[in-house]
Structure 1
Amino acid sequence: MTDRDDHLRDRYREDPGYSAGPPTERIPRVVVPPSQPPSAPLPYPPLPAPTPPRPVKPKPTRGWRRAVHTATFGLVNPGPSRQEQRQAAMAAMVAAPLRGHYKIGVLGKGGVGKTTVAASVGCVLAELRRGDRVVAVDADTAFGRLGSRIDPRAGGSYWELAKNKNLQSFAEVLTRMGSNSSGLFVLAGENGSRRGILDPAIYREATMRLDRHFTISIVDCGSTMDAPVTQEAMRDMDALIVVSSPWPDGASAAAQTLEWLAAHGKLGLLQRSVIVLNDSDGHSDKRTRGVLADQFRSRRQAVVEVPFDPGLRPGGVINNTAAMSAATRDAFIEVAAVLSHFFATMPQRGPETR
């Protein structure tokens, strides 16, 4: 090694970055940015919308459609007929929620099945409106048979309800009433040998107590419009059932009832009246019945035809709708649906404006 080499070596040794080892690659300086909050994790891709379940076709409840569904263990479901769908819609209308308390009057001359209609419609309302209490009230001054048609064990109780100021709770009121398996309660009349004659004051006091506990009251009125108790009952009616036989004389009496309502300024009640052509003996003529129905409809009245049903024999107990024929039950559901429509569309008013 020459003197020149020694000189260069000594010079590089004086350099702080000099290394006597083999040359190495210089590591670049890493600049660390200021600390930042960790970024949120990336979201998962959106899940596909769930497939809506296939609508289940309702099962038929009667006729050949039900027979096919039963015979094939449900593999073949022809679905309900249009009539079944219509009945289901009316039953849903009857069961729809209501606000307030409503009273239905039942009018008709003797022998047309007025009490039978009152009890039957009451059973339908009680069965389809399980969340409400429904009561039938005998307001016939001749002491009709409404109590014996619904609950033969029901004792007369007008005077007890009216005079006993200690009857406040529903349980206490119930001890003076009757009921049937439909859940329909009844306030029966009393025969003349037990107590005095029912008058408007006794009727008003007793029904005021019922109003605290019942959503719907069905009042079986007397056969004459000018009876004092009927007049009192009409003061706070919300709707009427006018029962007629399916013959011209019965229809004429029903028409007179409608004319009475118009003449006495009860136009709202007239509009909320339904005519029931009740075949109580099975002898009605279909053509005549149709003509009478058309005549009432031409006056813009709701009309329902109730067919003859041997299960609703005169004087028999009406315990529920199970003993009725399908056609009869459908007809009474239609009556109840018409009334429910009246209630849903009428304004909330006090008794004095009804």
Structure 2
Amino acid sequence: MTPCFREQQRFSDPGQEPPPEWTAPTPPHGFPAQPLQTAPPVPPAPPVTGPSAADPPPELPPQTSPVPLPAPYLDLSTVALLGQPKQAPTRGWRRWLYLGTFKLVNLGESPEVTSQTTLIEEAGRPLRGCYRIAVLSLKGGVGKTTVTATLGATFASTRGDRVIAVDANPDRGTLSQKVPLETPATVRHLLRDAEGITSYSDVRRYTSQGPSRLEVLASESDPAVSKAFSSSDYARTVEVLERYYSLVLTDCGTGMLHSAMAAVLAKADVLIVVSSGSVDGARSASATLDWLDAHGHQDLVRNAVAVVNAVRPRSGKVDLQKVVDHFSRRCRAVLQVPFDPHLEEGAEISLERLKPATRQALLELAAVVARDFPAPGHPAN
């Protein structure tokens, strides 16, 4: 027979006195601390002489999940708060439709305008420090000086910083003839007074500026001067200019062995090799790359930009696509500049007088060159 609850003494009588330890006073210094029970020391494991197939694999420590980062604050930029307004069309039938519907139908810009806007943004890429561009060719008459002047004018008209072109031709250069002449000073005068140049206004006394804001530093044209423009002269010139200009373009001579070429190649961040659309022009440009490869400038050749410049109307049977394919295998990019009657004049250059196709080609050339600009926070060499 199962005993009852009272017999099992599972409940106590409320009237019964509590045990004495329940009512005992607390010691003045508290209860004595009980010693912690620690595991006995583990003897060191014997040295392992080699892995055994019977041994279990070692246990890896548990992987802890990464602490979640706090949620970022809401972006308070103008675009985030007000949205990106749709750009109204600026030309073509889209513009007429936009105005004809009292600005109710806005189809946005055409793909052509959007592409040109992208090229302008690339050409105007922010640049920290000074970036040096050298334009060269072994053959004369291929439009090397014209490419220097038009590319510099394109950069100067699309950017907000200062752009200058230097005539480093040891012979009588013609770069100064591409802009209105404002001063008879040359690079010789700049070097003579280099110690006293402490500001941009001091340099401006030796340069001429065109409508595009491109400045040109002329070479020595006095036939009585017999001293050649040496490598040290060019290095000192660039040392002065790079303190006040973001882009320095150099119009090199046709010879690769003249004294200034060593400093030009040492200072250049990118090379632009100019070729005409003729057979001898293409061969001379390719020979220029061969000479650079043979003299330890392989990196400059791989990063170079080849320009096939049409110095005359297309009348021959040269396959320009094969010329482009040849240089595309050796250089970073190849671009073609079409023939333009304004450039054929050989006088001062005005971008407004160029054909739209020529201006588009020069803008593409500027964008290609600008893609090699150092990233923000990494100044140019």
1:56 aligns with 2:86: yes
> Could you list the per-position Cα deviations for residues 235-293 of structure 1 after superposition, in whole angstroms to 9, with x for gaps in the alignment?
11000111111122211111111122222221221122111111121225697222211
| Cross-structure match for 1:175 | 205
Say if 2:88 and 2:109, in contact at 8 Å, map to a contact too.
yes
| Cross-structure match for 2:273 | 242
**Residues 228 and 68 of structure 1: CA distance in aligned 2, closer, same or farther (over 3 Å):** farther
Query: Aligned pair count?
Result: 299
The counterpart of 1:297, out of the listed 328, 334, 340, is 328
> Partners in 2 of 1:72 and 1:284 — Cα distance?
48
The counterpart of 1:325, out of the listed 329, 352, 355, is 355
**Residues 156 and 92 of structure 1: CA distance in aligned 2, closer, same or farther (over 3 Å):** same
Q: CA deviation at 1:300?
A: 4.9
> Partners in 2 of 1:73 and 1:315 — Cα distance?
47
Say if 2:168 and 2:250, in contact at 8 Å, map to a contact too.
yes
The counterpart of 2:245, out of the listed 198, 214, 224, is 214
> Partners in 2 of 1:107 and 1:58 — Cα distance?
42
The counterpart of 1:125, out of the listed 138, 143, 155, is 155
Q: For 2:352, what is the secondary structure of its paired residue?
A: coil
| Cross-structure match for 1:98 | 127
1:268 aligns with 2:299: yes
> Partners in 2 of 1:214 and 1:226 — Cα distance?
28
Say if 1:247 and 1:284, in contact at 8 Å, map to a contact too.
no
Which 5+ residue runs of structure 2 have no aligned equivalent? 1-79
Which amino acid counterpart does residue 110 of structure 2 have in structure 1? S
| Cross-structure match for 1:161 | 190
1:192 aligns with 2:222: yes
Percent of aligned pairs with the same residue? 35
| Cross-structure match for 1:112 | 142
Q: CA deviation at 1:349?
A: 7.8
> Partners in 1 of 2:331 and 2:102 — Cα distance?
46
1:138 aligns with 2:160: no
Q: For 2:152, what is the secondary structure of its paired residue?
A: helix
Q: CA deviation at 1:206?
A: 2.4
Comparing 184-193 with 115-124, greater Cα deviation is found at: 184-193
> Partners in 1 of 2:377 and 2:303 — Cα distance?
12
> Partners in 1 of 2:129 and 2:114 — Cα distance?
29
| Cross-structure match for 1:15 | none
Say if 1:147 and 1:154, in contact at 8 Å, map to a contact too.
no
1:229 aligns with 2:274: no
Say if 2:306 and 2:331, in contact at 8 Å, map to a contact too.
no
> Partners in 2 of 1:82 and 1:229 — Cα distance?
45
**Residues 204 and 299 of structure 1: CA distance in aligned 2, closer, same or farther (over 3 Å):** closer
> Partners in 1 of 2:102 and 2:280 — Cα distance?
51
**Residues 84 and 54 of structure 1: CA distance in aligned 2, closer, same or farther (over 3 Å):** closer
Say if 1:102 and 1:343, in contact at 8 Å, map to a contact too.
yes
Which amino acid counterpart does residue 363 of structure 2 have in structure 1? I
Say if 1:244 and 1:276, in contact at 8 Å, map to a contact too.
yes
Q: CA deviation at 1:58?
A: 4.5
Q: For 1:228, what is the secondary structure of its paired residue?
A: coil
1:201 aligns with 2:232: yes
> Partners in 2 of 1:309 and 1:72 — Cα distance?
39
> Partners in 1 of 2:95 and 2:344 — Cα distance?
29
- TM-score when scaled to structure 2? 0.71
- TM-score when scaled to structure 1? 0.76
Say if 2:89 and 2:108, in contact at 8 Å, map to a contact too.
yes
Say if 2:128 and 2:380, in contact at 8 Å, map to a contact too.
no
> Partners in 1 of 2:279 and 2:100 — Cα distance?
47
The structure where helix makes up a greater share of residues is 1
Q: CA deviation at 1:60?
A: 4.3
Which 5+ residue runs of structure 1 have no aligned equivalent? 1-49
Say if 1:272 and 1:339, in contact at 8 Å, map to a contact too.
no
Q: For 1:344, what is the secondary structure of its paired residue?
A: coil
